[in-house]
A = this chain, B = another copy of it.
Amino acid sequence: MGTTQLDAVQEPKYWHLKSVLSDALDSEFAVGEILPNERDLAARFGVARATLRQALDQLELEGRLQRRRGVGTTVAPPRIGVPVGSGQHTWPDEQELWEPVSVSLESAPAAIARMLGTDGGEKVHTVRRIRARGGQTVAAQLLYVPARSVPGVDGDDVAAARVVRELGRHDMAGQDRTVELGSARAEDARELDRLPGAPVLVVTTRYTDAGRTVAVSVDTYRADTCRLTFSDDGSLLAG
């Protein structure tokens, strides 16, 4: 005959564990507080460490936890609202949000070259910048500016700020923007203080002037700590 029914719907352990921990986080822990270490937690819940880690992985993905090797696991603060703009007011140098790190002049990766129309292999200024907010680096950017978009810039040894300034001469009429999930490449991970492969939100923007694409930026935001905000009118409401 067997058990009549309703044996519980076979919810995976790590899923149930996540709920329990999530509730505990709400009621028993303050932001910044350190959790017991993984071995202890696993023992306390009577599961293998790998199973516990599955639950912690999810909570970290949702921005509830923050883990640092050699240190421990802490309760994360609410995500930071990061204005990504939406209206005409946004261009690559809006409000000095981005701090230049480096520049180079090279051919763009295939996917970018296609957007820029530089498939022929024309050289592109590749500006690397970072964006901080709340005392933390929240995003790493690669800004691709074809040489033809900034005729005022010449020579090989160019400052990042110079390229950006020259780019500002354009009437940035419109822009297309996409947001998707990605995982941090080694280089970005280093700048975001995360491990390679960490989940990130990738914002790709194509800046156009009179129908022509004058620049493309690929912005990599920490997905654990950031909430991208858009708004319709002038008043940017961050959170």
- Which A residues are within 8 Å of any B CB, using their own CB? 15, 18, 58, 61-63, 79, 81, 86-88, 174-183, 196-197, 199, 201, 223-224, 226-233, 237, 239
- In the complex, are the beta carbons of A230 and B86 less than 8 A apart? yes
- In the complex, are the beta carbons of B183 and A61 less than 8 A apart? yes
| A226 contacts across to B, CB distance below 8 A | 180
Please pick, from B15, B178, B183, the residue contacting A62 in the complex, using a CB distance under 8 A.
B183
- In the complex, are the beta carbons of B174 and A233 less than 8 A apart? yes
A180 → chain B closest CB, angstroms: 4
| A63 contacts across to B, CB distance below 8 A | 180-181
| A229 contacts across to B, CB distance below 8 A | 176-178
- In the complex, are the beta carbons of A199 and B181 less than 8 A apart? yes
| A175 contacts across to B, CB distance below 8 A | 231-232
**A87 CA to B174 CA in the complex, in Å?**
12
Given the interface pairs A15-B197, A87-B232, A232-B88, the reply to whether A181 lies near B178 with Cβ below 8 Å is: no
| A232 contacts across to B, CB distance below 8 A | 86-88, 174-176
- In the complex, are the beta carbons of B176 and A231 less than 8 A apart? yes
Q: Which chain B residue has the least Cβ–Cβ distance from A237?
A: B176
| A179 contacts across to B, CB distance below 8 A | 179, 201, 227-228, 230
| A199 contacts across to B, CB distance below 8 A | 61, 181, 199
Q: Can you list 23 residue pairs at the A/B interface with Cβ under 8 Å?
A: A15-B196, A18-B197, A58-B183, A58-B197, A62-B181, A79-B180, A81-B178, A86-B232, A174-B232, A174-B233, A175-B231, A176-B229, A176-B230, A177-B229, A178-B227, A178-B229, A178-B230, A180-B201, A180-B223, A181-B181, A181-B199, A181-B223, A230-B230
A215 → chain B closest CB, angstroms: 15
- In the complex, are the beta carbons of A178 and B228 less than 8 A apart? yes
Please pick, from B58, B176, B224, B231, the residue contacting A177 in the complex, using a CB distance under 8 A.
B231
